[in-house]
């Protein structure tokens, strides 16, 4: 092949450049690897922008995807075990957290409510699998989100993504703020109290459990401080007030199969155990009543845990349970806390180091 090589003063034509490229291709087909590498480096250095190709920077709004194109898309997350980073170990939970959407709920007293809900969905992952397709969890949930939610619908969503992701264990948790109208103690006013509630469905090896979690906020008057205040009044005529503080109990219960435990039911169980729930609408007569109610129910954090336990133990709809209580002291610069569990579902040798810090409720 006769190849005209332009002089330094000449500008090569397109045909001459294409001919040169053809020579390079034939050379690289037969040249040893070391020579190809050296030539590749030399050619790359001649290209503008350090060898980066010139790409289209305009969004292709008219581009459409067909089935053939989709089949050709890379899918690293569902790749072979050879792509696994780190130990080839099973993962107990992998999925999504705080995926939000509106969901309908049945209530005992107010019909159906649609509430903004934060969803956590996880599945187990076998040691030889690279990963899961996170969007499948969201898609399976959306498939049922238009229906009024019940345990049966949660089960259907869990069935979908457990099947889609070929997993042996799975769970769904839905967190929301549940409104209940509460009457004042004496004035006849009423207002909405909002309760942080979570529903959780757990499937371990085909065995399922349903859990309900509730944060119950109440006032706790220290019995010791109450007695000391009364002693000062009685012996020295000294005005003194006992210390009390906003307190929180996170009550988690297993709802036994075939039983119905309404959100309102669990709230009322907590009120029966510790009646000094914080108030919504308050006039002077209500404030005085609340002071009297606290004086009639002084409570240490140990007393609170055992009072909740007494009510939960007596309810035949409830299986295993856990009570985590925090009295956020007005006397001390630290809090008083307690944890009481019943049954294997909530037994734990170790606690989340920040568990109690999640119990703060601000107005």
Nearest residue to 269 (alpha-carbon basis) of 326, 212, 186: 212
Q: What is the pLDDT of residue 186?
A: 98
SS3 192: strand
Starting at the edge strand found earlier in the chain, the sheet holding 318-327 runs 91-106, 112-125, 169-183, 190-204, 207-221, 244-255, 318-327, 336-342
Instruction: Give yes or no for a contact between 161 and 135, defined as CB atoms under 8 angstroms apart.
Output: no
Q: What is the pLDDT of residue 227?
A: 97
Q: What is the pLDDT of residue 347?
A: 94
Q: Where are the alpha helices (DSSP H) in 110-256?
A: 134-145, 151-164, 223-236
Residues in the chain: 363
Please give the model's pTM, rounded to 2 decimal places.
0.82
Q: What is the pLDDT of residue 46?
A: 62
Residue 6: count of CB within 10 angstroms of its CB: 11
CA 260 – CA 315 distance, rounded (Å): 11
CA 275 – CA 218 distance, rounded (Å): 8
Q: What is the pLDDT of residue 41?
A: 63
Q: What is the pLDDT of residue 79?
A: 74
- Spell 235-258 as b/e; 16+ CB within 10 A means b: eeeeeeebbbbbbbbbbbbbbeee
CA 132 – CA 168 distance, rounded (Å): 13
Instruction: Give yes or no for a contact between 333 and 359, defined as CB atoms under 8 angstroms apart.
Output: no
Task: Mark the ranges of the chain whose per-residue pLDDT is less than 70.
Answer: 1-9, 33-34, 36-53, 148, 150, 363
Q: What is the pLDDT of residue 267?
A: 98
Q: What is the pLDDT of residue 44?
A: 63
């Amino acid at each position: 092949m006769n190849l005209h090589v332009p002089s330094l003063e000449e500008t090569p034509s397109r045909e001459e450049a294409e001919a040169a490229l053809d020579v390079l291709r034939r050379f690289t087909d037969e040249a040893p690897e070391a020579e190809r590498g050296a030539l590749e480096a030399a050619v790359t250095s001649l290209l503008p922008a350090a060898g980066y190709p010139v790409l289209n920077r305009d969004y292709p709004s008219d581009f459409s995807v067909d089935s053939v194109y989709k089949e050709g898309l890379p899918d690293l997350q569902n790749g072979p075990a050879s792509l696994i980073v780190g130990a080839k170990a099973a993962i107990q939970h992998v999925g999504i957290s705080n995926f939000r959407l509106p969901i309908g709920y049945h209530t005992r007293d107010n019909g159906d409510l649609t509430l903004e809900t934060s969803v956590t969905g996880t599945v187990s992952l076998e040691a030889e699998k690279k990963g899961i397709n996170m969007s499948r969890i969201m898609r399976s949930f959306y498939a049922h989100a238009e229906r009024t939610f019940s345990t049966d619908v949660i089960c259907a969503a869990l069935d979908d993504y457990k099947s889609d992701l070929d997993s042996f264990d799975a769970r769904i948790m839905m967190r929301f703020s549940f409104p209940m109208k509460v009457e004042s103690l004496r004035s006849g006013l009423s207002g909405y109290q909002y309760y942080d509630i979570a529903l959780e469905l757990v499937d371990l090896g085909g065995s399922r459990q349903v859990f309900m979690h509730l944060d119950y906020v109440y006032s706790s008057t220290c019995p010791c401080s109450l007695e000391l205040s009364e002693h000062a009044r009685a012996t020295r005529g000294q005005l003194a007030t006992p210390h009390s503080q906003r307190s929180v109990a996170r009550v988690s219960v297993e709802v036994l199969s075939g039983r119905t435990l309404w959100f309102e039911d669990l709230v009322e169980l907590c009120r029966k155990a510790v009646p000094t729930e914080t108030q919504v609408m308050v006039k002077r007569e209500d404030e005085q009543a609340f002071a009297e109610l606290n004086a009639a129910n002084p409570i240490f954090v140990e007393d609170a845990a055992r009072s909740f336990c007494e009510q939960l133990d007596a309810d035949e709809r409830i299986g295993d349970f856990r009570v985590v209580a925090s009295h956020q002291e007005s006397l001390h610069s630290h809090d008083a806390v307690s944890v009481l569990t019943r049954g294997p579902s909530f037994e734990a040798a170790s606690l989340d180091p920040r568990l109690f810090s999640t119990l703060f409720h601000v107005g």
